[in-house]
Copies of this chain bind each other. A is one copy, B any other.
Amino acid sequence: MNLNGLSLIAGRAAGGGKKSFICTTAGSGNVLPPAYFCATTEDIDSAVAAAGEAFHIFSRIPGMRRAELLRNLAMNLSRQSQTIVARAKAETALSEVRLHGELSRATNQLQIFAHQLEEGSWLQARIDTSDPGRKPNPKPDVRSLMRPLGPVAIFGAGNFPLAFSVAGGDTASALAAGCPVIAKAHSDHPGTDELVGQILCRTLADVGLPGGVFSVLFDDSHDIGRQLVQHRGIRAVAFTGSRQGGMAIAQVAAERSEPIPVFAQMSSINPVFLLPGAMSRSGASIAAALAHAMNLSTGQFCTKPGVVFVPDGADGSLFTAALLERAAAIAPAPMFSSATAARYRQQIAERLSAMGMARLNYNPESPTATSTWVSPVILQTDAEHFLHQAALEDEIFGPALLLVTYRGIGQLVSIAENLSGQLAASVYGTPEDLSQNIDLLGLLEQRAGRLVFNGTPTRVEVCNAMVHGGPFPATNLDRHTAVGSAAIFRFVRPMAYQDAPQAQLPDELKDENPLGILRLVNGAITSATVQSR
């Protein structure tokens, strides 16, 4: 596979203006060829026009055809795993084990959406048959199902070059829904994005679908991304990244003459609540789990535990000591870009100027202040200081953990009442701890997309029941998940047919149910045929 440094527009390496950018290896900073030519306004127009054309076909083919695309894509990505992982490793400094795991996650996602398309109940087909004799007005025949929105713009994440990028969960769910995708490549891993993009283009051709279903655009500024979101032909946007980035994109979308939805997965501190019984019974093992979780992929997970609430007293002190011992054994490691590492150091410095803040650890082999390499940082404050400084709820992206000591459950409840929205919250508790803290748990249900019991928030299983979302600022639209099969619902809307002749109905809504899917017919879920009129 050759890298060309050119955007992929509707299946062809094409476009690009005079501007280009160079990518470097994370960690060492060596130049990684080729140069990447920035997409132009004309490239966006071409990609969106091709996506609009392709939508007419792609949105109407049977779900089984789109499932075939996803399954073939998964297979083709697996076949090229060595090439993809090697490039991603060079670009992001993430470990080979992690990157192979991430590629498996990406292919697993594609399989899950394929399965969902084959099964069909996700369409939420609903049928209410007519009653022409009803008084005072006849009852019409009404049938509805989920329809794709149209071409979607996807902004991949720097920290997940595979599972949340060009062929990641957002692309998988948009393609599953029937929406063409225009991906804005991340400028920290353009080579990985080009490789994956080439495989996606080839797979589309293999299965006989139009090239306009997919494009990748390169750029190292915000210009192309902004223009893409503003383009009249784009009907929705998915973004994974910083709160600042997500809110900027949401604002551009809201200011369009025809606003479109933005699904931005942004920032979260994923608080961990350690209850007294659990602390007493298993403080050391919890410390080990949290030290591991905070440093997974050098803390570059959106579900990294960022704040841990620790009971004041002897058990809490033992826990803290155990955590510090574990943290001391962690060697420095590179972040995925030097800008990310610089931002990490800056945030740590800012955080240390907060009232009542202490740093508990210093790594003896601490990296230089300008390096891409970083060490874990354990900070500490108490509940009073946490409650009165809202900035302590801002995410620090990287291997930083803030321990907050609390005195009594009343303080935890106050904290939970005032907590901003989170992707996940964890509670460690014995059965007694949990049954005595129903109020705390109830508050956390309101503030988080996912509540984890006796485990870290870090790993996000790809499954039907997963919710990777949550109230602002975790996301901007808390009624959606970015991971798991329900992620498809971001890219569809319900549409109803009233008194439609059978010939004008999609197969999913026809009386004879040719696809054999489950439907809600006159209030009952069934895959039976419908006796209408």
Contact = CB atoms under 8 A, between A and B. Distances in A.
Contacts of A486: 124, 126, 144, 494
Interface string A93-134: 000000001000000000000010001010010111000000
A464 B523 contact: yes
A144 B525 contact: no
A314 B450 CA distance: 64
Interface stretch (A82-90, A158-166, A217-225, A440-448): A440-448
Nearest to A509: B465
B479 A492 contact: yes
A393 B489 CA distance: 30
Contacts of A525: 121, 518, 525
Count this chain's copies in the assembly: 2
A119 B523 CA distance: 9
Interface string A454-479: 11000101011111010111001111
A35 interface: no
A453 B497 contact: yes
A453 B127 contact: no
Contacts of A455: 140, 498-499
A107 to B, nearest CB: 15
A453 B494 contact: no
Interface stretch (A168-176, A254-262, A354-362): A254-262
A479 B489 CA distance: 9
Q: Which of A435, A466, A469, A522 has the most CB of B within 10 A?
A: A466
Contacts of A449: 493-496
Contacts of A463: 128, 139, 142
Interface residues of A, number: 78
A159 to B, nearest CB: 18
Contacts of A477: 261
Interface string A131-164: 0000011011011100101100000000000000
A299 interface: no
Given A453-B504, A465-B144, A499-B455, A259 B494 contact: no
Contacts of A147: 445-446
Contact of A501 (B121, B259, B431): B431
A453 to B, nearest CB: 5
Nearest to A441: B504
Nearest to A140: B461
Contacts of A528: none
Nearest to A119: B523
A451 interface: yes
Interface string A479-511: 111000010010011111111110110000000
A493 B479 contact: yes
Contact of A126 (B441, B461, B465): B465
Interface string A426-443: 000001001100000110
A407 interface: no
A520 interface: yes
A32 interface: no
A281 interface: no
A465 B503 CA distance: 19
Given A150-B446, A479-B261, A465 B496 contact: yes
30 contacts: A124-B486, A126-B464, A127-B465, A128-B466, A142-B461, A142-B463, A149-B478, A254-B254, A258-B472, A259-B472, A424-B498, A449-B493, A450-B497, A451-B497, A451-B498, A452-B498, A453-B497, A453-B498, A453-B499, A465-B496, A465-B520, A467-B494, A467-B496, A469-B493, A469-B494, A471-B493, A478-B493, A479-B493, A481-B494, A518-B525
Given A128-B465, A434-B501, A455-B499, 5 more contacts: A140-B455, A441-B504, A450-B495, A461-B498, A469-B493
Interface of A: 56, 60, 101, 115, 119, 121, 124, 126-128, 136-137, 139-140, 142-144, 147, 149-150, 254, 258-259, 261, 420-421, 424, 431, 434-435, 441-442, 445-446, 448-455, 459, 461, 463-467, 469, 471-473, 476-481, 486, 489, 492-501, 503-504, 518, 520, 522-523, 525
